[in-house]
Amino acid sequence: MSILINADTNFLIQGITGREGSRHTLKMLEAGTRIVGGVTPEKGGDWLKGIPVFDNVRTAVQATGANATIVFVGVASAIDAIYEAADAGVELIVCVTEGIPIVDTLKLCTHLRKEGKTRLIGPNSPGIVTPHQSYAGIVPNLALTPGKVGVVARSSSLAYDVMTLMSKANIGQSTFVGVGGDPVVGTTFVDILALFEEDHDTSSIVLIGESGGTSEIEAANFIKAHMTKPIVAYIAGRAIPTGIRIGHPGAVVTTQQTTAAAKIEALTTADVLIARTPEQIIDLLLDSVHISDQ
């Protein structure tokens, strides 16, 4: 078991003939991901590495039975691509595209929540990985190993770094989810924590957060009320002064509640184990969670 994706998930790639789309499609195929079709308007009828390309999502779903999609479409068309996938009944949408205007995402997420049928990961998500089963997105073909630790993160390279360290210590992952670095995202820490709590193959969880926004505070409140599995958290950005934006649009510290310190405090009161450095995540998993005994 795992969350969100496994070896049976059938993916479409929206933007499959674009530069990024085609490059990452090849990588995902190599990693064993089941890609049943692609969508690029006006390219319907083409093929890419044995994958049929369709003009629109509805036709692609009817022809292939796809139940998930990965969006590599450029900024100006990405929102439309997601509405199209939701309209076609795709249950899981992973949006890799970054740089979508916030108000557009806000509208989209409000719509998807009202409809209640589609789960959106991202925008600006590196993707989802269930090791040895399915790689969705731009997560490089890391030497991830199947295991029992669920990993959820806002940033990508820091999460890759941490997971590489985990692998070196023989700690495997059940599923990794990059929720995305934008201020508004379709799926939050809380949503993923709830899924990990229900997943029989996840015994503990690593949460990698950062300064800016309040999603870690909401996670802390949720953990206090609902989570029973042990959680290790690392929050980057203790050094970041209020009001400064670092990289991710989501990482702007605007009020006291959004500082790394406030998040660490909230998570501590929810009995989450706090790592001061990325490597301490591994120490805590070994020494406090006793992951190797599980």
Partner 1 sequence: MRLHEYQTKTLFERYGIPIVNGILAYSAAEAAEIVATRYQPAIINAQVLSDERVFRKAHSPAEAEQIATDLLNSTVGGLAVRHLLVEPWSPIQAEYALAIEFDRSQNAMILAAKPIGSAEFFREVIDPFLGVQIFQARYLASKLDLSSQYWNSFIDIALKLYQCFIGCDALSARILPLALTMPPQSRLIALGGRLHIDDNALYRQNEIQKLVTSPVLDSETSPGMEARIHTTNCLGDVACIANGTGLAMATADIINDLTNLCGIGSIIDIDGELTYQAIDKAFTLLHQSTRAIVINFFCTKDTGLHIADTILRIIAHHQITIPMIVRLGGANLDTAYQVLNAYSANDSDLLVTASTFDDMRHQLILKLTDSPS
CB of 47 to partner 1, least distance (A): 27
Handedness of CA 104, 107, 112, 113 (dihedral sign): positive
Q: Is 211 in the site for partner 1 (CB under 8 A)?
A: yes
Instruction: Give the CA angle between residues 288, 292, 294 to the nearest 5°.
Output: 95
Stretch that binds partner 1, among 9-17, 59-67, 219-227, 236-244 (CB under 8 A): 236-244
Output phi, psi for 149, to 5 deg.
-100, 120
The enclosing H or E element of 20 equals: helix 19-30
Cα–Cα separations (whole angstroms), residue 123 to 49, 58, 78, 95: 27, 21, 9, 5
Question: Which residues inside 93-132 make contact with partner 1, applying CB under 8 A?
Answer: 99-103, 106-107, 109-111
Per DSSP bridges, beta strands 127-130 and 134-137 are: antiparallel
CB of 53 to partner 1, least distance (A): 26
Q: Does 248 qualify as catalytic in the annotation?
A: yes
Picking from 245, 238, 93, 262, the residue whose alpha carbon sits closest to that of residue 183 is: 245
Q: Is 14 in the site for partner 1 (CB under 8 A)?
A: no
| Cis status of the peptide bond prior to 126, with omega within 30 of 0 | no
Assigned token pair, 185: 């995202």
Number of residues that bind partner 1 (CB under 8 A): 59
Q: Which of 24, 119, 148, 248 binds partner 1 (CB under 8 A)?
A: 248
Question: Which residues inside 132-191 make contact with partner 1, applying CB under 8 A?
Answer: 140-143, 153-161, 164-165, 167-168, 181, 183-184
Catalytic residue among 111, 200, 226, 248: 248
Q: Is 26 in the site for partner 1 (CB under 8 A)?
A: no
Catalog residues that contact partner 1 under the rule CB under 8 A. 75-76, 99-103, 106-107, 109-111, 140-143, 153-161, 164-165, 167-168, 181, 183-184, 208, 210-211, 213-214, 217, 234, 236-241, 244-249, 251, 254, 257-258, 260, 277-279
Instruction: List the catalytic residues.
Output: 248
